[in-house]
Amino acid sequence: MSIAVEHISKTFGRFVALDDVSLTVDTGELVALLGPSGSGKTTLLRIIAGLEQPDRGSGPIRFHDEDVAQCNVGDRHVGFVFQHYALFRHMSVFENVAFGLRVRPRKLRPSKAAIKTKVHRLLELVQLDFLANRYPNQLSGGQRQRVALARALAMEPKVLLLDEPFGALDAKVRQELRRWLRRLHEEIHVTSVFVTHDQDEALELADRVLVMNAGRIEQVGTPDEVFHHPRTQFVMNFLGQVNRFHGRLEQGKVHFASLSLDWPNHDSVRTQPAQVFVRPHDCEVDVCRNGHSCFQATVTHVHSAGPNVRLELRAESGESLCAEVSQERYRELGVAVGSQVYIAPREVKVFAGEAG
Amino acid sequence: MATGTATVPTSGAPAQQRVATTEPWLVRGMLTVTALGFLGLFLLMPLVGVFAQALAKGWGVYLQSFRDPDALAAIRLTLFTAAVAVPMSTAFGLAAAWAIGKFQFRGKNVLITLIDLPFTVSPVVAGLVFVLIFGRNGWLGPWLQAHGIQIIYAVPGIVLVTLFVTFPFVARELIPLMQAQGTEEEEAARVLGASGWHTFWRVTLPNVKWALLYGVILCNARAMGEFGAVSVVSGHIRGNTNTMPLQVEILYNDYNFVAAFSIASLLAVLALVTLVLKSVFEWKVARQLALAERIEDAEESLS
């Protein structure tokens, strides 16, 4: 089932949580709402679920072309996984998962035997069948997460909404659950939207990523699109490590950090301020000028634990920046704190205007 | 420990820790003696005193005190008052706690303050307020008299003031718990299709079950033990509007010590039962969890 929401606004007192947001999710798609905290992503998710009412004058919320904006939460048939799981603490795992089936009106309620079979099948799906009689406070975070998911799936939702599904888990469990959720989604193919502030999570899991900032949508696209072709400074800044330089555009050239590069996109004669972004892995590092356009910098710190070595640098023009090189390249360069190096940006992104 | 070296540095730690985190024995001893002294002086001695006085002339006289029709009437009235006031107080407390703990609305702090009012007002003043409202010269007095309804110096007045002094107990127990638990579980239930009614009975109420019972016990203890407010509105009509605490006072003023302390011993027993029940409820929660854990561990080792 597809989701389409149009022109949704939401204010809490004076705080604008959502400002005229529209979004569509196709059937079977897995979409990430990505943004910093306070960007409105959770509010949007809760509005889709019906847990929050959009402001007056907001547009429709359509599930498969049917407007559900006036529908009660319970009648929308969405599966919702809460950030802190919200498992019923006085019920066992089995009872938690069975809850959605047991509260149905008598006519629609499956028989006891059918509920039992179904719950056990779901617990098998999330690989927790052996914990059916446990209580939530006896489970680890990852296990609770999966129970919450099984509970949401029990009602065979057409739409699955997840609020920071891995937010409260440690790094290793996160990784595993992320991969597991991706597989699960491929298996059951339910239209899903999840909220996250973790860009890796969004880029790895989602078919499409919706980047949000201050109640607005900055960009929508595949992980590739938003990462490699950010449309705004915010997206560039938010996705991945990036170095930012305050520069200027002048007669087809961009000037920053004592460098001048051709910038044919700019044809105005007028001088204009510009924000220049270079990813750390796009900074080529060398110990001498090697012919490329480059600027000089001093190494201030070296982080060599990890697959790549991160060099913290201070450019001769005063900006601090960060460059990433492979371990081999690092050994080849033989640099240490205090060394003078030359930085040649392989790829730069330029946004005309002041810092945004 | 997989390696021998890892255990070596920890061997000296316990002794060091004891030194670092406890007081000298003199301080410990003095604090313990002080605490036990207070406990004995203010709790144990009065309790023993009540039973000693009640049984001063033997079991026969003790039991004889309960054959007095006035005493029986007082016990009946106390039970009746509690039976009416406690459920009403509970219903009110639950509703108030639910509203305050789970919803946002204007005037919430005013409501919380109002709920605390009976705790801050002297019970005697509370009683007088009711006399002022329902008494013969009170605001509603003439109207009530014209319709032949008597509230002050009668059972309805006693129930009303009992209700007034007991109503914060349940609410006060539940509000912090419900606020701490938040609304996520209720939201989860609503998303899963449960009605508001279902959500309340199956999610909200079970989560506060033990706190609720605890509040009810405290409320009951106060309902049966209240003296001041009831004394003002009761009129002290023997065999008619005397509750157990009032009966105790009357008997004491009559120099009928054995009878007074016999009734008092019932109230003391009530206090002890209250304490036992409270402990049982706490123990039950712990046992329920431990049991569930054991079952699971057994199943896990089988699979």
Q: What is the pLDDT of residue A209?
A: 95
The model's pLDDT over B168-184, given as tens digits with 9 standing for 90+, comes to 999 988 888 888 888 88
**Interval B123-144 mean pLDDT:** 85
Binned at pLDDT 50, 70 and 90, residue B302 comes out as: low
Residue whose token pair is 């605001």:
B139
pLDDT digits (tens, 9 = 90+) for A222-281: 999 999 999 999 999 898 889 999 888 887 788 888 888 887 776 666 788 888 999 999
Residue B231 pLDDT > 70: yes
The pLDDT value recorded for residue B297 is: 61
pLDDT at B296: 54
Average pLDDT, chain B: 83
| A7 interfacial to chain B (CB closer than 8 Å) | no
Nearest CB to B300; choose among A84, A130, A135: A130
CA angle (B201, B207, B209) in 5-degree steps: 80
Which pLDDT score is estimated for B8? 45
Q: What is the pLDDT of residues B94-105, one digit of tens each?
A: 999 999 988 888
Cβ atoms of A340 and A298 closer than 8 Å: yes
What residues have CB less than 8 Å from B266, skipping those under 6 apart?
Answer: B75, B244
- All residues of chain B having their beta carbon less than 8 Å from the beta carbon of residue A51 are 187, 190-191
How far apart are alpha carbons A32 and B89 in whole angstroms? 49
| Contact B188/A at CB under 8 A | yes
Mean pLDDT of B136-140: 81
Which residues contact residue B19 at a Cβ distance below 8 angstroms, ignoring those fewer than 6 apart?
none
Q: Is the Cβ of B189 closer than 8 Å to some Cβ of chain A?
A: yes
Residues of chain A scoring pLDDT < 70 = 266-269, 356
The pLDDT score that the predictor gives to residue B1 is: 39
Please tell me the predicted confidence (pLDDT) of residue B35.
95
B108 to chain A, any CB pair closer than 8 A? The answer is: no
Strand order in the sheet with A259-262: A259-262, A253-256, A243-250, A272-278, A349-352
Whole-Å CA distances, B40 to A116, B29, B53, B56, B276: 56, 16, 18, 21, 19
Nearest to A138 among B198, B202, B292 (CB): B292
User: Is the separation of the CB atoms in A242 and A277 below 8 Å?
Assistant: yes
- Tell me the angle at which helices B155-166 and B209-225 cross, rounded to the nearest 10 degrees: 140
Residue among A89, A131, A155 whose CB faces B193 most closely = A155
Alpha-carbon separation of residue B83 from A35, B162, B220 (angstroms): 57, 11, 9
Residues 6 or more apart whose CB falls under 8 angstroms from that of A81 comprise A145, A148, A149, A152, A160, A161, A162, A163, A165
Q: What is the CA radius of gyration of chain B?
A: 26
- CA A118, A121, A126, A130 torsion: positive or negative? positive
How close, in Å, is residue A268 to chain B by CA atoms? 55
Distance of alpha carbon A321 from alpha carbon A281, whole angstroms:
12
d(CA B271, CA A59): 61
Confidence of residue B292 (pLDDT cuts 50, 70, 90): low
| pLDDT band per the 50, 70, 90 thresholds, residue B86 | very high
- pLDDT for res B5: 45
- For residue B203, give how far its alpha carbon lies from the nearest alpha carbon of chain A (Å): 7
Chain length of chain A? 356
Q: Is A346 helix (H, G, I), strand (E, B) or coil?
A: coil
The structure's pTM equals 0.78
DSSP letter at A353 equals S
SS3 for B120? helix
